[in-house]
Amino acid sequence: MNNICRTRVLSALISTLQTTKNKLGKVYFSSRSTFKLTNTNLNQIHVLRQSSTGFSAVKDQLCAQHEDYLELPVESAVPLKIPYVWLRDHCRCSECYNQKTNQRLFDSFVIDVDEAPVSVESYDDKIKLTWKDTHVTTYNLSWLKQNSPGSNLQDSVKKVLWNGEKIQKEMPDDVPYKDFMNNDESLKEVLMNIHKYGFGIVGECPPTEEKTVELSERIGHVRPTFFGKSWGFTDNEVFDDTAYTSDAIGPHNDNTYLLEASGIQVFHILHHDGEGGENLLVDGFNAASILKLKHPDYYEALARIPIRAEYIGDGHEVISIINLIQENKITKEIDAFRYNPFDRALLSHTSFEDTKLFYKALKALSAEINSPLNELRMKLTPGRVLFVDNWRVLHGRNSFNGSRVLAGCYLPKDQLNSRLRTIAGLNIY
Ligand SMILES: [Fe+2]
Ligand SMILES: [Zn+2]
């Protein structure tokens, strides 16, 4: 006999269960031990293993087959319930899934959504399901526990929200340019800083636009916009944008007018022979979480009421309708923050009731964003390249005099997330 357990139906159990509303099909268990159900309430089924000292609860390897779902005992109080249709659809055999390209081969639309497997067997840490057409699907229990419906997916490393005092204490170190360019551990350090704090700094970079782009491409391909692939500019007003002046600019996110704002903005001061121009950073997620604590109704309003942002100039008319606060649909945490008082456009689509509420909420949020308690100020000098998570951290600057040249570019959010998964080894959603 191989180690696949022989399946048996508990006839006594079935007769009990047939009288219940939720029909239980079969219970399978290892032939090397015997089991009994202690509770006929199907919502509270416990399968027990007989040991030399009596029955003890089994926390893995056993499953209960219900009419249209499989129930797996897990460590938590709530058992894992997986619909059969999901188990058929996610089959990872070579006929159904290409392991090389990580793409689905199976045509999900042929599934009978009510089909139950003909048999379910559990052995070692695996579940084997045989379907009516003799197709066999095998899952590792650990994979199922991690990926099946109802899994509590969260980022494997939490973001660290900060105000001015906290970030001064936890300020991430500059990572030297040569290490960053040649060593994956140093790249990982910068990526982790961006993930955790919303920014990271590479030092000792040669102060040229070309080297700034080369450095940025270590994270991923640059995302061109109508500002070009990259820029190296002074206060020459070549674009119709406040950034191209020497005026002070309050905290904001870039690209709020784009349907998908760039994920990272890269800043590198190549030259400055005057005074002022210090950079200002504010953690938008922290500001939003403070707002949520103080005024949950305002937070809800900003997450719900769409606003319009636009870039009109230089022959472009780019408009997006967005939410200022966006939550991750899986983790339910703040996912994106799009605050830009300069690019905010006509509020012509809100209801009468929402209009005044929106202004109250925006005013309360702006108070947090502009509070000196929540800001980090730093003077970037030639060689220090700042990567800012533009979906989270707001940037601004003081006014300046003298000649000041800034180089930079944008990177897409997808590229950052991909590198966080592949280089930094994070599970992020
Ligand atoms: Fe900006
Ligand atoms: Zn398959």
DSSP structure class, residue 144 = H
The rounded radius of gyration (Å) of the Cα atoms in the chain is 28
| SS3 assignment, position 55 | strand
The domains found in the chain, sorted by start residue, are 11-147 (3.30.2020.30), 164-422 (3.60.130.10)
What separation in Å is there between the alpha carbon of 216 and the centre of ligand 1? 17
C-alpha to C-alpha distance for 343 and 256, rounded to whole angstroms: 7
Which alpha helices (H) appear in 276-322, and where do they start and end?
284-294, 296-304
Relative orientation angle of helices 284-294 and 296-304, to the nearest 10 degrees: 130
What separation in Å is there between the alpha carbon of 359 and the centre of ligand 1? 23
Residue 237 has phi, psi (to 5 degrees) of 50, 40
**Dihedral through CA 179, CA 182, CA 183, CA 188, nearest 10?**
80
pLDDT in tens, 291-347: 999 999 999 999 999 999 999 998 999 999 999 999 999 888 999 999 999 999 999
What separation in Å is there between the alpha carbon of 121 and the centre of ligand 2? 16
pLDDT for residue 235: 64
Angle at 367 between CA 363 and CA 368, to 5 degrees: 125
Q: Is the pLDDT of residue 24 over 50?
A: no
What separation in Å is there between the alpha carbon of 425 and the centre of ligand 2? 28
C-alpha to C-alpha distance for 95 and 91, rounded to whole angstroms: 9
C-alpha to C-alpha distance for 380 and 71, rounded to whole angstroms: 57
Q: Is the pLDDT of residue 50 over 50?
A: no
pLDDT in tens, 29-41: 332 222 333 332 2
pLDDT for residue 286: 98
Q: Among the bound ligands, name the one nearest to the CA of residue 267.
A: 1
Q: Among the bound ligands, name the one nearest to the CA of residue 104.
A: 2
State how beta strands 199-203 and 175-176 pair: parallel
pLDDT in tens, 152-174: 788 999 999 999 999 999 999 99
pLDDT in tens, 230-263: 998 776 666 666 677 888 999 999 999 999 999 9
pLDDT for residue 239: 67
State the SS3 of 174-233: CEEHHHHHHCHHHHHHHHHHHHHHCEEEEECCCCCHHHHHHHHCCCCCCCCECCECEEEE
Which H/E stretch holds residue 130? strand 126-130
What separation in Å is there between the alpha carbon of 67 and the centre of ligand 2? 21
For residue 4, which of 98, 137, 179, 125 has the smallest C-alpha distance?
Answer: 125
